Amino acid sequence: MKLELKTVLSPPVQPPVDSSSTDECVKGAVISAINIYHPGYPDTYNPLLRFLALDDGGVYYDLVYYACCIIAGNVGLETTKPGHITQAKAYLATSSSSKATPITLPSDRILREKLYFFHVSTLNNGKYLALMVMFVTNVS
C-alpha cells in the first residue's frame, strides 16, 4: 500500500504580522478580532486564543468561555450533583490583576471588548499555573 501525502493548504486567514493587533483582513475586508490572554504572562506574549468578531461586532460568550476552559485543562463550572452548578471556577475579566472581577455578561451574550483575560479561581498558592502560550508547527 502506497501512502500519498496531500499538499498543505494555506490557512483561510493569513496570520497577522503583529499578533497584538485586534483586526484581521479577510478577502479585503477588515474584521475586528477579540484576543484572550493569560493573566500571569506579560503583555508581550501572544494571546492564548483569538476570535474573529463575526457575531454582531463581537463573539458569543459561551464559545469564548468554553474554548478557554478547554485550553486551561478543562476547568469550568463546579457541580455538586448532575445539573446543579454551584460555582464558576474560571472567569473572563478585562484586567490581568489577580483581584480582577468577572465581566458582567451582556444581555445578548456577545463579547465586544478587544481583549479579555481568562482567570482560573483555583490558584496554586496564589500563583497562576503555566500554560503553553504558543504552538509552532514546522511543516517541511
Instruction: Flag whether 39 is in a domain.
Output: yes
Instruction: Flag whether 90 is in a domain.
Output: yes
Instruction: Flag whether 92 is in a domain.
Output: yes
Q: Which domain holds residue 98?
A: 23-120
Q: Please classify residue 38 by burial: count the beta carbons closer than 10 Å to its beta carbon, then call 0-12 exposed, 13-18 middle and 19+ buried.
A: buried
Instruction: Flag whether 5 is in a domain.
Output: no
In this prediction, residues 84-101 reach a mean pLDDT of: 79
Instruction: Flag whether 133 is in a domain.
Output: no
In this prediction, residues 80-101 reach a mean pLDDT of: 75
Alpha-carbon gap, residue 4 to 22, rounded angstroms: 39
Instruction: Flag whether 13 is in a domain.
Output: no
Specify the number of domains making up the chain: 1
Average predicted confidence (pLDDT) for the chain: 74
Instruction: Flag whether 132 is in a domain.
Output: no
First to last CA, the chain: 23
CA atoms within 13 A on the CB side of 58: 15
pLDDT above 90 as % of the chain: 26
Taking only the tens place, the pLDDT of each residue in 77-87 is 655 556 555 55
How many C-beta atoms lie closer than 10 Å to residue 36's C-beta? 21
Of 43, 39, 47, nearest in space to 15 by CA: 47
Instruction: Flag whether 138 is in a domain.
Output: no
Taking only the tens place, the pLDDT of each residue in 30-62 is 678 899 998 888 777 888 899 998 888 899 999
pTM for the whole structure: 0.66
**φ and ψ at residue 31, rounded to 5 degrees:** -120, 130
